[in-house]
């Protein structure tokens, strides 16, 4: 048995490299979807955002061989791999774009946004966010625009890549959401609510959600020295504006209650605003989380511009979500919504709600890890993985302490089977801050409590992580060789 296992272990890499060699001999040097074979020679790479890897550095971007779960080449025990040229401080988020062979790494220590090449395994460039450290930052998949919420300075930063960025004033802004094409960029005001029937008027009012809009030449001239042009919150630069912040209206059957982010339908026709309500501070009796539906039609887009264009967006209806709504992810017309509702004892408990967006019908709500659900990603074997922070402050932890012999798991990582609706809450290891789905190999990498862990998607069991552990703090992980840009928890 041991001899057979050894043979399989050594024949697999020989077969892989034989194929690569034959490709090279035919004048080709690629391994998947026309992508070039990277300098490391690794075919399954997981990138790690590592904070404080040593006393001399505040950040590094090592990557590991996710086929063998090791930090070095399979035939060497000394050589390790990392993105060369990276110098950001405290890398905290990886926006993974494997189709473009690019990753955008945000450094929370210095406000840097670094673009790294998966093809060359080097840093490509950095994007200067004009207002400094951001609470939320995204770049479009075509790498033409970056958007950031700068909570301390109360501005939304708009950066056309390669040019000087702009700062649009918005008090208490704390998050941005951007669709893949960059035609819709929404900014969210923290701890805010907006009643039904509140539309954009000539005089600015208090709104909860705003849309970044690029102006045409004619609009720019009309908005000169008028920061509240056509009801905008702000237009910059004021002498000849290039961008404005326009409020998102609410129709008669829609409202915003502590909106936290937006997710977009696969066809791009709808933005769904997540209202976390009670979980985010609404103490009104009977308050409930919900999803606000915002159609994206030609009439709501600013014609004649190439960038963000949502000039007349209006929420048309609300869908109540009893389990809470702080994060969500799509699979076709099915939206999986993670959030928390309040238990009778006052603590919050985590839930996953399954919503059919064609019928607005909820097919089920399932208890998952407690905490603030910041990461969601699909894996192999019909699994959905959900990561949260501060899960030890919820209902599950209380129950585990009250019933120590019941072995109640209260970890920050959940595996949900989308076929059977089975829930597996992993053991507690600390905050779940990153998920990378190594598709085709039935495994998922995570960053929890500052360390890297590996799970089997077949049953949720843990794999040996000894040879992928980092010396610093692992803040995020990403599968560099994913088949689609959907292999990404930053959206």
Per-residue pLDDT band for 202 (boundaries 50, 70, 90) equals: low
Cα separation values, 381 from 355, 420, 459, Å: 21, 11, 9
Among the listed residues 124, 92, 96, the one whose alpha carbon sits nearest the alpha carbon of residue 111: 92
Per-residue pLDDT band for 21 (boundaries 50, 70, 90) equals: very low
Same structural domain, 307 and 197: yes
Same structural domain, 134 and 25: no
Give the pLDDT mean for 238-262.
97
Per-residue pLDDT at 203 = 60
User: 299, 325, 351: which is the final residue of a domain?
Assistant: 325
Same structural domain, 315 and 173: yes
d(CA 11, CA 313): 57
Same structural domain, 132 and 26: no
Same structural domain, 133 and 258: yes
Per-residue pLDDT at 18 = 46
Per-residue pLDDT at 1 = 43
Cα separation values, 425 from 14, 139, 384, 408, 410, Å: 38, 32, 12, 9, 7
Mean pLDDT of the chain: 92
Same structural domain, 21 and 144: no
Per-residue pLDDT at 2 = 41
Per-residue pLDDT band for 30 (boundaries 50, 70, 90) equals: low
Give the pLDDT mean for 348-374.
97
Q: Is residue 193 one of the residues assigned to a domain?
A: yes
**CA-derived radius of gyration, the chain:** 23
Same structural domain, 150 and 289: yes
Cα separation values, 453 from 316, 435, 467, 489, Å: 42, 10, 10, 16
Q: Is residue 473 one of the residues assigned to a domain?
A: no
Same structural domain, 165 and 310: yes
Q: Is residue 264 one of the residues assigned to a domain?
A: yes
Q: Which residues contact 359 (CB under 8 A, 6 or more apart)?
A: none
Q: How many domains does the chain have?
A: 2
Same structural domain, 275 and 147: yes
d(CA 24, CA 273): 48
Per-residue pLDDT at 25 = 41
User: Is pLDDT of 68 > 70?
Assistant: yes
Q: Which two tokens stand for residue 51?
A: 């904070």
d(CA 263, CA 257): 16
229 DSSP 8-state letter? G
pLDDT (tens digit per residue) in 77-112:
667 999 999 999 999 999 999 999 999 999 999 999
Q: Which residues contact 476 (CB under 8 A, 6 or more apart)?
A: 48, 49, 91, 92, 93, 94, 433, 434, 447, 489
Q: Is residue 137 one of the residues assigned to a domain?
A: yes
User: Is pLDDT of 480 > 90?
Assistant: yes
Give the pLDDT mean for 349-353.
98
Per-residue pLDDT at 7 = 43
d(CA 35, CA 43): 11
Q: Is residue 275 one of the residues assigned to a domain?
A: yes
User: 261, 293, 325: which is the final residue of a domain?
Assistant: 325
Per-residue pLDDT at 337 = 98
Per-residue pLDDT band for 72 (boundaries 50, 70, 90) equals: confident
Q: Is residue 236 one of the residues assigned to a domain?
A: yes
Per-residue pLDDT at 425 = 98
Give the pLDDT mean for 187-191.
97
- With residue 180 as reference, give the H or E element that holds it: none
User: Is pLDDT of 23 > 50?
Assistant: no
Per-residue pLDDT band for 205 (boundaries 50, 70, 90) equals: confident
Q: Which domain holds residue 22?
A: 1-30
User: Is pLDDT of 457 > 70?
Assistant: yes
User: Is pLDDT of 115 > 80?
Assistant: yes
Give the pLDDT mean for 170-175.
96
Q: Is residue 110 one of the residues assigned to a domain?
A: no
Per-residue pLDDT at 110 = 95
Same structural domain, 10 and 152: no
Per-residue pLDDT at 204 = 60
Give the pLDDT mean for 256-266.
97
Per-residue pLDDT at 73 = 82
Maximum pairwise Cα distance, the chain: 79
Distance of CA 52 to the CA centre of its chain: 23
Out of 9-13, 35-39, 290-294, 305-309, which region has the weakest mean confidence (pLDDT)? 9-13
User: Is pLDDT of 36 > 70?
Assistant: yes
Neighbours of 474 (CB within 10 A): 27
Give the pLDDT mean for 60-87.
91
Out of 9-18, 224-233, 347-356, 440-449, which region has the weakest mean confidence (pLDDT)? 9-18
Q: Which residues contact 56 (CB under 8 A, 6 or more apart)?
A: none
Q: Is residue 352 one of the residues assigned to a domain?
A: no
């Amino acid at each position: 048995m041991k001899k057979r296992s050894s043979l399989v272990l050594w024949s697999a890499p020989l077969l892989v490299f034989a194929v690569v060699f034959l490709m090279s001999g035919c004048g080709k040097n690629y391994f998947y979807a026309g992508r070039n074979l990277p300098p490391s020679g690794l075919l399954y790479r997981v990138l790690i955002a590592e904070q404080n890897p040593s006393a001399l550095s505040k950040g590094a971007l090592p990557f590991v061989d996710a086929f063998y779960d090791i930090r070095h080449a399979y035939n060497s025990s000394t050589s390790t791999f990392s993105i060369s040229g990276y110098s950001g401080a405290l890398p905290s988020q990886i926006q993974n774009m494997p189709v473009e062979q690019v990753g955008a790494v945000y450094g929370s220590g210095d406000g840097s946004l670094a673009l790294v090449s998966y093809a060359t395994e080097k840093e490509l460039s950095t994007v200067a966010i004009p207002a400094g450290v951001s609470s939320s930052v995204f770049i479009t998949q075509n790498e033409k625009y970056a958007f950031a919420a700068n909570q301390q300075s109360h501005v939304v930063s708009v950066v056309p890549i390669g040019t000087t960025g702009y700062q649009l004033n918005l008090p208490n802004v704390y998050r941005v959401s951007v669709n893949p094409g960059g035609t819709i960029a929404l900014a969210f005001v923290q701890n805010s609510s907006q009643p039904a029937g509140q539309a954009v008027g000539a005089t600015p009012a208090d709104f909860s959600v705003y849309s970044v809009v690029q102006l045409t030449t004619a609009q720019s001239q009309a908005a000169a020295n008028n920061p509240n042009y056509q009801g905008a919150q702000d237009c910059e630069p004021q002498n000849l504006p290039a961008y404005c912040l326009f409020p998102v209206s609410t129709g008669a059957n829609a409202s915003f209650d502590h909106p936290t982010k937006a997710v977009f339908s696969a066809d791009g026709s709808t933005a769904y605003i997540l209202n976390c309500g009670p979980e985010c501070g609404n103490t009104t009796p009977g308050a409930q989380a919900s999803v606000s539906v915002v159609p994206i039609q030609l009439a709501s887009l600013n014609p004649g511009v190439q960038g963000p264009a949502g000039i007349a967006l209006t929420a048309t209806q609300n869908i109540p979500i009893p389990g809470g709504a702080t994060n969500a992810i799509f699979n076709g017309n099915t939206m999986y919504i993670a959030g928390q509702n309040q238990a009778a004892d006052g603590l919050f408990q985590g839930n996953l709600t399954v919503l059919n967006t064609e019928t607005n019908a909820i097919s089920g709500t399932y208890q998952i890890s407690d905490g603030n659900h910041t990461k969601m990603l699909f894996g192999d074997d019909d699994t959905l993985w959900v990561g949260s922070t501060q899960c030890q402050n919820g209902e599950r932890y209380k129950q585990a302490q009250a019933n120590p012999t019941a072995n109640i798991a209260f970890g920050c990582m959940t595996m949900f089977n989308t076929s059977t609706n089975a829930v597996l809450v992993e053991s507690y290891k600390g905050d779940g801050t990153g998920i990378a789905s190594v598709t085709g190999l039935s495994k998922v990498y995570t960053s929890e409590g500052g360390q890297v862990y590996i799970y089997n998607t077949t049953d949720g069991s843990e794999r040996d992580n000894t040879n992928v552990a980092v010396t610093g703090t692992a803040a995020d992980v990403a599968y560099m060789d994913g088949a689609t840009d959907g292999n990404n928890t930053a959206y």
